[in-house]
Structure 1
Amino acid sequence: MVKRKASIACSTAFVLSIFLTGCMASEPANNEPKETTKTGEKKLEEKVVVYSPHGKDILQQFEQKFEAEYNVDVEWLDLGSQEVLDRIRSEKNNPQADVWWGAPSVMFNQAKSEDLLQSYKPSYADSLDAKFHDPDWYWSGTSQTPEVIMYNTKLLKKEEAPQDWDELLEPKWKDEIIIRYPLASGTMRTIFSAMIYRDYKDTQDATTGYEWLKKLDTNTKEYAANPEIMYNKVAKGEGKLSVWAMPDVVMLKEQKNYPFDFIVPKSGTPVLTEGIAVVKGSKHPEAAKAFYEFVNSEESTKTLAEEYYRIPTRSDITDLPAWISETEINAMDIDWKVFEEKSNEWMEDWDTNIKNKEKDKKE
């Protein structure tokens, strides 16, 4: 649910009454400068609405910091990446969000093609490599996210856990895997699409990839409705394994003491560019731009790296945690345009023809 402050209507009315009284008493001269932000931009609106899959911990912290610095009310809605895209689509004729923060770049490209985003070139544009932003600045990257195999450290030693994607299909992992329901998750869509793409890139045929996903489905005990359910089930030992985003796994381990660790698949893994964009038709466009800039400021980038294990896209950030340079990531060579074009088709086929089909036959 969107986070709202119960008192905002009353406080806004009170401030407005004082403002109007002041205006009647002393109108400013015509040449008096209009109120601006500290960066000299136009005056910000009273609030900004953010749709994001980043979870309540990050969203609450950035809400508090932004409100303290800009005196702008932040309302946020925590949804899966695909759910955010679907919601923005449904609201196209009457946008409710101002900022979309967090999703794989392919989803932002889909939104751009559907005329859902507003172009905005941020002040830090020169620090972003071309691969980390849309050519026309309809989105820019905030972080890089490698995908990994997550395991319960109370139940498995590092050497016992699968070391690569194909090892997840071994019979010993039957009913030991808990997976976030892929259709609602940009992370899971990317992982599943990557498993198809490994063969598809050479054959232009998804059959081998579908067979791989069928075998994974056989070993999957449950598709969790949201990440929190998945985390809790793996932590409790209802399943020993999952596949997920490396930064989230490290954060859960370091900050919340979950019994988690990860394996970076040795054959290679998809590395997502997570992005941010202004929603077209935003009701609070200046506040949206300010939040956009705030999220990828030098201070915020360091916060995301140090506290939430996000690998920055900006090239000018120094003094970052050692783990960023020490973790070896073998990034898969992926044509993201293919993902953009084929991902929906692949996921619909998985949902219709693969998910739980073997279990249904037995029942």
Structure 2
Amino acid sequence: MNFKKSMITVTSLMVALTVVLSGCGSNNSGASSSSDKGSNPSANAKKEDSKSLVIYSNSVSDGRGDWLKEKAAAQGYKLEFVEAGGGDIANRLIAEKNNPVADVVFGLSTVDYEGFKTQGLLEKFKPAWSDEITAGLNDKDDYYHSLVKQAIVLIYNSKLYNEDTAPKDWTELWKKSEFQNKYDSPSAFGGATIRAVLAGILVRYQDPNGEYGISKEGWDEIRSYLKNGYHAAQGEDFYANLASGKSPLGPMWSSGIATREEKYGVKAGIVKPSIGVPFVVEQVAIVKGSKNLEAAKQFVNWFGSADVQGEWSKKFTTMPANEKALATAAKEIKDLDASLKPQNIDWAFVAKNMNKWVEKIQLQLLP
């Protein structure tokens, strides 16, 4: 019980649907001031300082940050990144609410931004490209807007299953005996992928009179999901197990499939439930109290544009939320996007309840 409680303490610090935590970036510098009292800067220096921005993100690894710095510099921006996981970024923004350091935050997920919005951490702003975003992804009140779509899908080893023999929905995993003990069942709940899976299941059983907004039937379904799957030992890799057939079914984020197919030599089939699949959407927003508000607005207008997001997609194989950018993306990305139906999920409801759901699961429902 002590172990479970300690796990809850950790997970409660994390806002749902963040991707696996990155190491916290070592960056103590804030936004540069627009003047230097100790010298007489040139007009060009002042202009450069006025376009200096501090950016918080969990999405600048694998060369993304370096690429973005270089491209932004050509536009006159000087970017300083603070890189961390979604939970760490959320905690930092909350702690800095009365004296913000960041100008812009991007990456993370809709659930995080719903939390930031509720706590008054974001500046209201409608970018020039907002109408180019797939309907339903932006915040309707214009506090955050969408950059990248990440589908959270149930995949299978295509050497062992095909469209006819694979499950048609998540619920078949634990309800049909042929899939029991064949799918990866989670034991940790801090990552964005598994939290999106939980959301996709639980929102089907919303009940205003139920515990944390979920009916008893919904909690029974989660209990069965956790009980009847394969529980990997510490250190086991899900994709290695999928390739070997040890657990040939389980969750994966869409942009992570291609590299793993190449690494493990197995083609993944994707389950496409009629209800749709959860999408974790990376957003961008301006931090309320930014010391460089106008530059932050200009940067967001530039970064989220179809041209820049189209380049970002080509370089990092992302699925753009900007439909003009998506039109220029690689064929396999466009084909995947066209083939997946987004599940209708009330992310504000999820954001309000996710930490309580995880706490209940860890204390009461884990086998």
| Structure possessing the higher radius of gyration over alpha carbons | 1
What SS is found at the alignment partner of 1:150? strand
Percent identical residues: 22
**1:123-134 matches, cutoff 5 A:** 123-128=128-133, 131-134=136-139
1:263 aligns with 270
Distance 1:323 1:202, change over 3 A: farther
Aligned 1:1-363 pairs, distance under 5 A: 1-3=23-25, 20=39, 23=40, 36=47, 43-45=50-52, 47-53=53-59, 55-67=61-73, 69-70=75-76, 72-79=78-85, 81-128=86-133, 131-152=136-157, 156-159=160-163, 161-169=166-174, 170=176, 172-174=179-181, 176-177=183-184, 179=186, 181-182=188-189, 184-200=190-206, 205-218=214-227, 219-222=229-232, 239-250=247-258, 252-253=260-261, 259=266, 261-268=268-275, 269-282=277-290, 285=293, 288-317=296-325, 318-327=327-336, 328-355=339-366, 358=367
Asked if the contact 1:48–1:287 (Cα under 8 Å) also holds between the matched residues in 2, the reply is no
- Give the secondary-structure state (helix, strand or coil) at the position aligned to 1:147: strand
Structure that is richer in helix per residue: 1
Shift of 1:263: 1.1
Task: Tell me the SS of whatever aligns to 2:344.
Answer: coil
Following superposition, the deviation at residue 196 of structure 1 comes to 1.2
SS at match of 1:353: helix
Tell me how far apart the structure 1 counterparts of residues 270 and 317 of structure 2 sit (CA, whole Å).
16
| Whole-angstrom distance in 1 between the partners of 2:81 and 2:47 | 22
Check the 8 A contact 1:196/1:208 in 2, yes or no: no
Aligned partners of 1:152 and 1:240 also within 8 Å: yes
- Closer, same or farther: CA 116–139 of 1 in aligned 2, 3 Å: same
Deviation per CA, 1:43-88: give whole Å up to 9, x if none: 212x523222565353443344334554514323131x34432342
Whether the 8 Å CA contact 2:50–2:292 is kept in 1: the answer is no
Does structure 2 conserve the Cα–Cα contact (< 8 Å) formed by 1:190 and 1:270? yes
What letter is aligned with 1:280?
K
The one-character-per-residue Cα deviations of 1:138-183 (angstroms, maximum 9, x if unpaired) are 1011133322013456x7444565442123225554275164832x
Residues 147 and 270, structure 1, Cα contact 8 Å, conserved in 2 = yes
> Does the CA-based 8 Å contact 2:239-2:264 persist in structure 1?
no
Shift of 1:291: 4.3
Rounded to whole Å, the distance in 1 between the matches of 2:290 and 2:146 is 20
Q: Give, in whole Å, the separation in 2 of the partners of 1:223 and 1:289.
A: 47
Name the SS for the 2:226 alignment partner. helix
SS of the residue corresponding to residue 115 of structure 1 reads coil
Q: What value does the CA root-mean-square deviation take over the aligned residues?
A: 4.1
Q: Distance in 2 between matches of 1:88 and 1:56?
A: 24
CA 1:342–1:68: 2 relative to 1, 3 Å: same
Question: Deviation at 1:195?
Answer: 0.4
Q: Give distance in 1, aligned partners of 2:244 and 2:99.
A: 43
Within 1, Cα distance between the matches of 2:89 and 2:122? 13
Task: Extract unaligned runs of 5+ from structure 2.
Answer: 1-22
